[in-house]
Amino acid sequence: MKTYEGGFEGRGLRVAVVAARFNETVGLRLVEGARDCLVRHGVSDDDISIAWVPGAFEIPLVAGRMAGSGEFDAVICVGAVIRGATAHFDYVAGTAAQGIARAAQETGVPITFGVLTTEDTEQAAERSGGKLGNKGFEAALAALEMVNLLGSLPKPQL
Ligand code: INI
Protein backbone atom coordinates (compact mmCIF):
# COMPACT_ATOMS: atom_id res chain seq x y z
CA MET A 1 0.00 0.00 0.00
CA LYS A 2 1.31 3.43 -0.89
CA THR A 3 0.72 6.14 1.70
CA TYR A 4 0.91 9.88 1.12
CA GLU A 5 1.68 12.08 4.09
CA GLY A 6 3.03 15.58 4.33
CA GLY A 7 5.94 16.48 6.56
CA PHE A 8 6.51 19.87 8.14
CA GLU A 9 9.55 21.16 6.25
CA GLY A 10 9.30 24.90 5.82
CA ARG A 11 12.66 25.83 4.28
CA GLY A 12 12.30 27.83 1.09
CA LEU A 13 8.54 28.31 1.44
CA ARG A 14 6.80 31.65 1.05
CA VAL A 15 3.75 32.01 3.25
CA ALA A 16 1.05 34.64 3.67
CA VAL A 17 -0.96 35.23 6.82
CA VAL A 18 -4.35 36.93 6.49
CA ALA A 19 -5.46 38.29 9.87
CA ALA A 20 -8.70 39.93 11.00
CA ARG A 21 -8.23 43.10 13.07
CA PHE A 22 -11.60 42.67 14.85
CA ASN A 23 -10.78 41.34 18.33
CA GLU A 24 -7.26 42.54 17.63
CA THR A 25 -5.56 41.35 20.82
CA VAL A 26 -6.55 37.79 20.01
CA GLY A 27 -5.63 38.28 16.36
CA LEU A 28 -2.14 39.46 17.25
CA ARG A 29 -1.56 36.38 19.42
CA LEU A 30 -2.73 34.10 16.63
CA VAL A 31 -0.39 35.85 14.18
CA GLU A 32 2.50 35.38 16.59
CA GLY A 33 1.60 31.70 16.99
CA ALA A 34 1.58 31.22 13.22
CA ARG A 35 4.88 33.05 12.81
CA ASP A 36 6.50 31.07 15.62
CA CYS A 37 5.46 27.79 14.00
CA LEU A 38 6.69 28.83 10.55
CA VAL A 39 10.09 30.05 11.75
CA ARG A 40 10.59 26.96 13.95
CA HIS A 41 10.03 24.81 10.88
CA GLY A 42 12.51 26.65 8.70
CA VAL A 43 10.51 29.36 6.95
CA SER A 44 12.56 32.55 6.70
CA ASP A 45 10.96 35.53 8.45
CA ASP A 46 11.56 37.47 5.21
CA ASP A 47 9.34 34.99 3.39
CA ILE A 48 6.34 35.60 5.66
CA SER A 49 3.87 38.30 4.60
CA ILE A 50 0.86 39.51 6.51
CA ALA A 51 -2.32 41.18 5.28
CA TRP A 52 -4.70 42.69 7.84
CA VAL A 53 -8.42 42.83 7.03
CA PRO A 54 -11.17 44.55 9.06
CA GLY A 55 -12.94 41.37 10.20
CA ALA A 56 -13.26 37.66 9.53
CA PHE A 57 -15.96 38.32 6.94
CA GLU A 58 -13.31 39.94 4.71
CA ILE A 59 -10.74 37.14 5.03
CA PRO A 60 -11.84 34.98 2.06
CA LEU A 61 -11.44 37.71 -0.57
CA VAL A 62 -7.92 38.58 0.53
CA ALA A 63 -6.91 34.96 1.13
CA GLY A 64 -8.04 34.14 -2.40
CA ARG A 65 -6.06 37.07 -3.82
CA MET A 66 -2.90 36.02 -1.98
CA ALA A 67 -3.33 32.39 -2.95
CA GLY A 68 -3.99 33.22 -6.60
CA SER A 69 -1.03 35.59 -6.90
CA GLY A 70 1.52 32.82 -7.44
CA GLU A 71 3.69 34.45 -4.80
CA PHE A 72 2.84 32.14 -1.91
CA ASP A 73 2.99 28.42 -1.26
CA ALA A 74 0.32 28.63 1.43
CA VAL A 75 -2.00 31.07 3.14
CA ILE A 76 -2.91 30.97 6.83
CA CYS A 77 -6.08 32.72 7.96
CA VAL A 78 -6.47 33.87 11.54
CA GLY A 79 -9.10 35.80 13.43
CA ALA A 80 -11.66 35.53 16.19
CA VAL A 81 -15.42 35.49 15.86
CA ILE A 82 -16.95 35.67 19.32
CA ARG A 83 -20.64 34.86 19.72
CA GLY A 84 -21.19 37.12 22.71
CA ALA A 85 -19.93 40.08 20.72
CA THR A 86 -22.22 39.84 17.73
CA ALA A 87 -25.78 39.16 16.70
CA HIS A 88 -24.55 37.96 13.33
CA PHE A 89 -21.99 35.43 14.58
CA ASP A 90 -23.28 32.66 12.33
CA TYR A 91 -23.09 34.82 9.20
CA VAL A 92 -19.58 36.07 9.90
CA ALA A 93 -18.21 32.68 11.03
CA GLY A 94 -20.00 30.74 8.29
CA THR A 95 -18.96 33.12 5.54
CA ALA A 96 -15.35 33.03 6.69
CA ALA A 97 -15.22 29.23 6.85
CA GLN A 98 -16.98 28.60 3.55
CA GLY A 99 -15.13 31.35 1.72
CA ILE A 100 -11.74 30.16 2.92
CA ALA A 101 -12.51 26.58 1.87
CA ARG A 102 -13.74 27.78 -1.54
CA ALA A 103 -10.66 29.91 -2.13
CA ALA A 104 -8.41 26.92 -1.42
CA GLN A 105 -10.39 24.68 -3.76
CA GLU A 106 -10.45 27.28 -6.54
CA THR A 107 -6.75 28.16 -6.37
CA GLY A 108 -5.31 24.76 -5.44
CA VAL A 109 -3.18 26.52 -2.86
CA PRO A 110 -3.43 25.37 0.77
CA ILE A 111 -5.35 27.93 2.80
CA THR A 112 -5.81 26.98 6.41
CA PHE A 113 -8.39 27.98 8.98
CA GLY A 114 -7.08 29.51 12.17
CA VAL A 115 -10.22 31.51 12.80
CA LEU A 116 -11.55 31.01 16.32
CA THR A 117 -15.30 30.69 16.66
CA THR A 118 -16.02 30.88 20.37
CA GLU A 119 -18.82 31.59 22.80
CA ASP A 120 -16.90 34.28 24.71
CA THR A 121 -13.61 36.13 25.04
CA GLU A 122 -12.34 33.69 27.68
CA GLN A 123 -12.56 30.78 25.24
CA ALA A 124 -10.79 32.90 22.63
CA ALA A 125 -7.97 33.72 25.07
CA GLU A 126 -7.54 30.04 25.97
CA ARG A 127 -7.04 29.18 22.30
CA SER A 128 -4.71 32.04 21.38
CA GLY A 129 -1.72 31.22 23.57
CA GLY A 130 -3.60 30.18 26.71
CA LYS A 131 -4.12 26.78 28.27
CA LEU A 132 -5.58 25.26 25.08
CA GLY A 133 -2.68 26.23 22.86
CA ASN A 134 -2.57 28.57 19.92
CA LYS A 135 -4.79 27.95 16.89
CA GLY A 136 -2.56 30.21 14.81
CA PHE A 137 0.33 27.83 15.44
CA GLU A 138 -1.90 24.86 14.55
CA ALA A 139 -3.12 26.49 11.34
CA ALA A 140 0.48 27.18 10.31
CA LEU A 141 1.41 23.57 11.00
CA ALA A 142 -1.51 22.40 8.87
CA ALA A 143 -0.37 24.72 6.07
CA LEU A 144 3.15 23.24 6.12
CA GLU A 145 1.75 19.72 6.10
CA MET A 146 -0.54 20.50 3.17
CA VAL A 147 2.22 22.10 1.09
CA ASN A 148 4.44 19.06 1.62
CA LEU A 149 1.58 16.62 1.02
CA LEU A 150 0.50 18.30 -2.23
CA GLY A 151 4.11 18.30 -3.36
CA SER A 152 4.27 14.53 -2.96
CA LEU A 153 0.93 13.66 -4.61
CA PRO A 154 0.58 12.70 -8.28
CA LYS A 155 0.38 15.82 -10.43
CA PRO A 156 -2.98 16.60 -12.08
CA GLN A 157 -3.14 15.91 -15.82
CA LEU A 158 -3.39 19.10 -17.88
N1 INI B 1 -15.58 40.20 12.79
C2 INI B 1 -14.77 39.34 13.44
O3 INI B 1 -13.70 38.99 12.90
N4 INI B 1 -15.10 38.85 14.65
C5 INI B 1 -16.26 39.21 15.28
O6 INI B 1 -16.51 38.70 16.41
C7 INI B 1 -17.13 40.11 14.62
N8 INI B 1 -18.34 40.55 15.28
O9 INI B 1 -18.48 40.34 16.48
O10 INI B 1 -19.22 41.14 14.65
C11 INI B 1 -16.76 40.61 13.36
N12 INI B 1 -17.57 41.46 12.68
C13 INI B 1 -17.09 42.26 11.58
C14 INI B 1 -17.19 41.53 10.26
O15 INI B 1 -16.20 40.51 10.15
C16 INI B 1 -16.97 42.51 9.09
O17 INI B 1 -15.68 43.09 9.20
C18 INI B 1 -18.01 43.64 9.07
O19 INI B 1 -19.32 43.11 9.08
C20 INI B 1 -17.84 44.50 7.79
O21 INI B 1 -18.07 43.72 6.62
| Burial degree of 45 (CB within 10 A; 0-12, 13-18, 19+) | exposed
120 CA → ligand 1 middle, Å: 14
Mutate-to-test residue for ligand 1 from 18, 24, 57, highest number of ligand atoms within 8 A of CB: 57
pLDDT of 156 > 90? The answer is no
Q: What is the pLDDT of residues 116-154, one digit of tens each?
A: 999 999 999 999 999 999 999 999 999 999 999 999 999
Sign of the Cα pseudo-torsion (77, 83, 87, 89, in order):
positive
Q: What is the pLDDT of residues 26-54, one digit of tens each?
A: 999 999 999 999 999 999 999 999 999 99
pLDDT of 85 > 70? The answer is no
For residue 95, the one-letter residue type is T
147 CA → ligand 1 middle, Å: 29
Half-sphere exposure (CA, 13 Å, Cβ side) for 138? Answer: 11
Domain 15-150 has CATH 3.40.50.960: yes
Mutate-to-test residue for ligand 1 from 92, 95, 113, highest number of ligand atoms within 8 A of CB: 92
Catalytic residues: 88
For the chain, the farthest-separated pair of C-alpha atoms sits apart, in whole angstroms, at 50
pLDDT band at residue 87 under the 50/70/90 scheme: confident
pTM of the predicted model as reported, rounded to 2 decimal places? 0.97
Q: Name the residue at shortest CA distance from atom 4 of ligand 1.
A: 81
Q: Show the ligand 1 pocket: residues with CB < 6 angstroms.
A: 20, 22-23, 54-58, 79-82, 85-86, 92
Average pLDDT, the chain: 96
pLDDT of 84 > 90? The answer is no
Q: What is the pLDDT of residues 53-77, one digit of tens each?
A: 999 999 999 999 999 999 999 999 9
